[in-house]
Structure 1
């Protein structure tokens, strides 16, 4: 079999494979059908890009979003791969089809809707194919968190070309979803390769909402690079973008309700930026391949652990340190339970299980990464040392007595009032409403005092999270299935109390260094911006930050020395090498 290492080094400038890349590439070159489950940032695209250069014919890549295809197209062309997209927005479709028929393409990117059409199948019969690569393959499974029906039509397409290999790739698939992908895409069970799900460069931090705009502003202030803030509604993205933009940091909104031209420009500006923050609904991010996102913040609860893993995985794809902050509220869980009641009955049990898994993640006093990876069937030998709990040592206290008082107050006031009023009753805060309702004579009136007062709000959140309380259509609290166990069966309620802010700050080292700390690195970034603007591509397409840091540290002064750095293949060396060498040679600092 062909040795892929020389091509890896010549085209991509990498000295060797990472993780399971070598195993996946070996199977692809041997024509074996494969499903590769690899974390974001592990180099999935290389697993088909490298074979596309080595094998005769064109590799057809099925990808779910046009923006993602165009991003990957730029990166492929930058290293000298002959690539094209065939989408509804491309004006050069006739030229692309001609290149494909002439055998002048290594890669052809298409959407599943086009790939599953009869016309496209006819087109594929007019040229030699080297491989089918199905990106974001979890979209084929109804068990996955992002089901796309057109992915179900891909197996008949591939079956029409039985001699062509097939490679499916995904970053987010639990055991059930993986089995479904294998079945739906005609891949044998022994074709499954699962890399570890851990993203050790991402620091996970989760906390309750407490003025979420201010909390996210703090995240932005501590992280100078590009970032994504996920909000749950279109209106919330715009309000957040407006509020966060007042800090002086360039900020944009992104959601499906924006004018298409505005949406496209906001995304393009973000992709090209080295410090912009984009406030978006969860669809954003799947359509970009931006490696230098330094933080992801959630201003509310994601749909599931799978969604959380995928969305946070958009940070730090270049392998450099990144952070993921999640801010949640009890109302997030209440709304999620209401949504579960609206889906088909046969799906409700699975959705409840997913919500419980999220609850365990946000509520734990232990290592966040352990729980996250356990969900995907992976065990950590020891705590990660890179999440808020590992770094901040939170305390867990027994708040069962306070929880019982809270539930009693809900019951004795008729299960019809909201959390704010229940807190007033427990604290004995008199008002016209409490006088009118006659609640000041109840046994629960003013029953909470002293140090216990600080537990009332977090206990209310915990009871909603555990489904001991639910909100009715009028916003009032009523008992849920978990209430009886706490009141009658001895179920305990444990609360996580985070350490004081100053102690957390001392325990958590800086995530990413400020470019200003290294003047040569900043000079190299300035040159990269200049070249990127001239070429009309995002800066990371020229070189990643990690490559620039290697330049700044090693200061090569010849082409031969520069070529030894990771990420500098022959095409990029010819195109950009001299420009960066001039910066290094002329730098005095």
Structure 2
């Protein structure tokens, strides 16, 4: 079956609304149409799903998609259905009547893509139905999503995936596509072997995600305040990953108390609550989900704008997967890791509970790779991509190390002093004691062991406690010094330590001149008309999504909304040219979005409709659910000033719901007063109404009245 490239692009636009393929997609689709077995390794956000969805629509028969998680099936099916594509899933969440109804739709050829879990697909009760479908309408392909689950060397091994090799025996002529976001060479070989792929074409896309900004921040005592400030500066949704269930609950509660719409997610919660919280996040009912690593694999939310690892991840592959939940739509997103040595100790404790010595060895190695990433002074991308065997020359321009490089200094002499002190203390003490000796401390413990008589006593007075700690930690992370982890951390020299002492090796460390956690600075005055229209379109999308009981991004991606805000289409013909707009979506949503854009363009004709920077800050806090008193306290302003901001926002047609601030019946009375004596001064209106009405109420209603008079 041959398709011309023009024909494929036309099909892409017809079914999915896109004008062009992403890198690698067209070649994969062409080979899928030739019925080749495929192994596709494409990073999160690269467009793996389209690689099997488009061939399924162009070939006769049913494509069967094996997916490990119910939420992932639901998400992809919702998106396909909203594009007018016949798709369904079969899993344990359905009643028997729903199962029969969906099976009938498959039998009658109304379904092109069936999503199903491996357990159900291979169940002896389902096998006869699959055989019947194979004979009646044909099976065009088996697509094994999250294929790394088949390998015990992968980061998320699932034994039931091993049984999928039976498909090759039962349906030998049906092509099989294996797809995953991450796979080392060893995992790739295992996938091919375990699934019985026949001379598969292997497509490996770059693991580089250029739209993601990588950042590592030191985790300090008051890091929660920095986390809160960071989230308040974000407009989109985000994920905060924590190491333990307890941390998840605590951080989620703190954020809620501080006015952030946040919900927890972890395996200790009951299924109903966990599912509800996930759905509320997917549908933009809340801004933040705080979760353990149990969250993320089951969602396909493309518009996550930030992912924060508040605790240290256990391995670099897991970190890549979890941080990769951000920016799957290709729009800019941020990935921030909070790093502290205390988290390191927590994970080391977990590792020590493993019964297998080999597992402990591998886990420690993986943890060291994470530390190397966090402590690294090179381009973050260089470190991550090297892990997957991909070479990157650095200077990505989109990570903290490239944008704010830390100075590298030669600290060989200081390292020799430090290591000499460890030797002279007979390698029986921890870092704090060694630093006390170097700095000439008068502590009783120093004299008790006679360490005030050592030649290294007081030779490090020129460096601060923080500087010596910085050096000590760097020596450990560079494997130039060992530290025991049996509950009492004692420093020990190794072979590399002696090379430093014998002047056979130099020591260079990254020196932080100022160890401070700075929150991102957002210039509110830069908010422009495009951003304002973008927010209005997002609000409209949310309303439509709620009415259809689907996630907002199923309707349109953020990238499509941003194009609408930039291009401002004025008719259906212009609207249909927006990337992501299919004929189906144009007919279903076009009029509503065009109406919103036209309304915005009319508002542009009025002078002074853009709110001030200060007003926008108040608006953002108001949209987070804070009342006027809370906003005033947070901003250090009088509450009357906040009411002034809100009145100006109302008058300039910003999304402030006056009905939530003043009862409609009170609004009506104030409006009648304005109509009778005019809207010239607040004092005259207040005098007419009497003490039952406040200046703040009158101010808001007058703003609304003036706005309506302009229409």
Is the TM-score greater than 0.5? yes
Quote the Cα distance in structure 2 between the aligned partners of 1:314 and 1:543: 18
Query: C-alpha offsets along residues 76-117 of structure 1, whole Å, 9 cap, x if unaligned?
Result: 111112222211122222322332333332111122232333
Higher mean alpha-carbon deviation, 233-242 vs 211-220, is at 211-220
Give the conservation status (yes or no) of the 8 Å contact 2:229–2:519. no
Residue of structure 1 in register with 2:126 after alignment: 120
Change (3 A) 1:358 1:486: farther
Give the conservation status (yes or no) of the 8 Å contact 1:61–1:110. yes
Residue of structure 1 in register with 2:572 after alignment: 559
Residue of structure 2 in register with 1:235 after alignment: 246
Higher mean alpha-carbon deviation, 385-394 vs 268-277, is at 268-277
1:257 is displaced (CA, Å) by 0.7
Partner-residue secondary structure (3-state), 2:132: coil
Residue of structure 2 in register with 1:162 after alignment: 172
Residue of structure 1 in register with 2:341 after alignment: 330
Change (3 A) 1:303 1:477: same
Is 2:400 aligned against 1:388?
Answer: yes
Higher mean alpha-carbon deviation, 175-184 vs 458-467, is at 458-467
Partner-residue secondary structure (3-state), 2:36: coil
Is 2:152 aligned against 1:148?
Answer: no
Partner-residue secondary structure (3-state), 2:209: coil
Match of 2:295 among 284, 289, 302: 284
Partner-residue secondary structure (3-state), 1:123: helix
Give the conservation status (yes or no) of the 8 Å contact 1:133–1:169. yes
Query: C-alpha offsets along residues 276-330 of structure 1, whole Å, 9 cap, x if unaligned?
Result: 1222111211111111111111123322221121111110001111111112233
Residue of structure 2 in register with 1:181 after alignment: 191
Is 2:34 aligned against 1:34?
Answer: no
Residue of structure 2 in register with 1:373 after alignment: 385
**Across the two proteins, how many residue pairs are aligned to each other?**
587
Higher mean alpha-carbon deviation, 234-243 vs 249-258, is at 234-243
Give the conservation status (yes or no) of the 8 Å contact 2:43–2:181. yes
Is 2:54 aligned against 1:25?
Answer: no
1:500 is displaced (CA, Å) by 4.6
Change (3 A) 1:115 1:430: farther
Higher mean alpha-carbon deviation, 494-503 vs 198-207, is at 494-503
Match of 2:109 among 103, 112, 116: 103
1:540 is displaced (CA, Å) by 1.0
Query: C-alpha offsets along residues 312-364 of structure 1, whole Å, 9 cap, x if unaligned?
Result: 11100011111111122334445555666646345566545534433432232
Quote the Cα distance in structure 1 between the aligned partners of 2:467 and 2:516: 21
Give the conservation status (yes or no) of the 8 Å contact 1:82–1:104. yes
Give the conservation status (yes or no) of the 8 Å contact 2:56–2:63. yes
Which runs of no fewer than 5 residues in structure 1 stay unpaired?
none
Match of 1:47 among 45, 51, 64: 51
Give the conservation status (yes or no) of the 8 Å contact 1:224–1:514. no
Give the conservation status (yes or no) of the 8 Å contact 2:37–2:200. no
Change (3 A) 1:564 1:394: same
1:434 is displaced (CA, Å) by 5.1
Residue of structure 2 in register with 1:496 after alignment: 510
Quote the Cα distance in structure 2 between the aligned partners of 1:421 and 1:115: 61
Quote the Cα distance in structure 2 between the aligned partners of 1:399 and 1:408: 14
1:435 is displaced (CA, Å) by 5.9
Higher mean alpha-carbon deviation, 188-197 vs 212-221, is at 212-221
Give the conservation status (yes or no) of the 8 Å contact 1:516–1:522. no
Quote the Cα distance in structure 1 between the aligned partners of 2:433 and 2:245: 30
Quote the Cα distance in structure 2 between the aligned partners of 1:485 and 1:579: 71
Residue of structure 2 in register with 1:14 after alignment: 18
Partner-residue secondary structure (3-state), 2:401: helix
Residue of structure 2 in register with 1:296 after alignment: 307
Change (3 A) 1:51 1:300: same
Residue of structure 2 in register with 1:93 after alignment: 99
Quote the Cα distance in structure 2 between the aligned partners of 1:44 and 1:469: 43
1:392 is displaced (CA, Å) by 0.3
Structure 1 or 2, whichever has the larger Rg, is 2
Partner-residue secondary structure (3-state), 2:390: coil
Is 2:582 aligned against 1:569?
Answer: yes
Quote the Cα distance in structure 1 between the aligned partners of 2:51 and 2:10: 15
Partner-residue secondary structure (3-state), 2:39: strand
Quote the Cα distance in structure 2 between the aligned partners of 1:60 and 1:480: 57
Match of 1:530 among 537, 543, 558: 543
Quote the Cα distance in structure 1 between the aligned partners of 2:568 and 2:553: 20
Give the conservation status (yes or no) of the 8 Å contact 1:13–1:566. yes
Is 2:553 aligned against 1:540?
Answer: yes
Give the conservation status (yes or no) of the 8 Å contact 1:205–1:325. yes
Give the conservation status (yes or no) of the 8 Å contact 2:262–2:288. yes
Residue of structure 1 in register with 2:665 after alignment: none
Give the conservation status (yes or no) of the 8 Å contact 2:263–2:290. yes
Residue of structure 2 in register with 1:399 after alignment: 411
Query: C-alpha offsets along residues 174-214 of structure 1, whole Å, 9 cap, x if unaligned?
Result: 22222222222222455101111110000111243223423
Query: C-alpha offsets along residues 20-61 of structure 1, whole Å, 9 cap, x if unaligned?
Result: 110111111111100111111111111111122222222111
Quote the Cα distance in structure 1 between the aligned partners of 2:229 and 2:160: 42
Change (3 A) 1:515 1:266: farther
Quote the Cα distance in structure 2 between the aligned partners of 1:515 and 1:259: 44
Higher mean alpha-carbon deviation, 34-43 vs 273-282, is at 273-282
Quote the Cα distance in structure 2 between the aligned partners of 1:385 and 1:503: 20
Higher mean alpha-carbon deviation, 65-74 vs 437-446, is at 437-446
Partner-residue secondary structure (3-state), 2:279: helix
Give the conservation status (yes or no) of the 8 Å contact 1:426–1:447. yes
Quote the Cα distance in structure 1 between the aligned partners of 2:443 and 2:549: 63
Give the conservation status (yes or no) of the 8 Å contact 1:225–1:274. no
Change (3 A) 1:409 1:253: farther
Change (3 A) 1:192 1:407: same
Quote the Cα distance in structure 2 between the aligned partners of 1:505 and 1:297: 13
Give the conservation status (yes or no) of the 8 Å contact 1:334–1:470. no
Quote the Cα distance in structure 1 between the aligned partners of 2:330 and 2:555: 17
Residue of structure 2 in register with 1:216 after alignment: 227
Quote the Cα distance in structure 1 between the aligned partners of 2:375 and 2:25: 35
Give the conservation status (yes or no) of the 8 Å contact 1:393–1:498. no
Quote the Cα distance in structure 2 between the aligned partners of 1:142 and 1:216: 36
Is 2:263 aligned against 1:259?
Answer: no
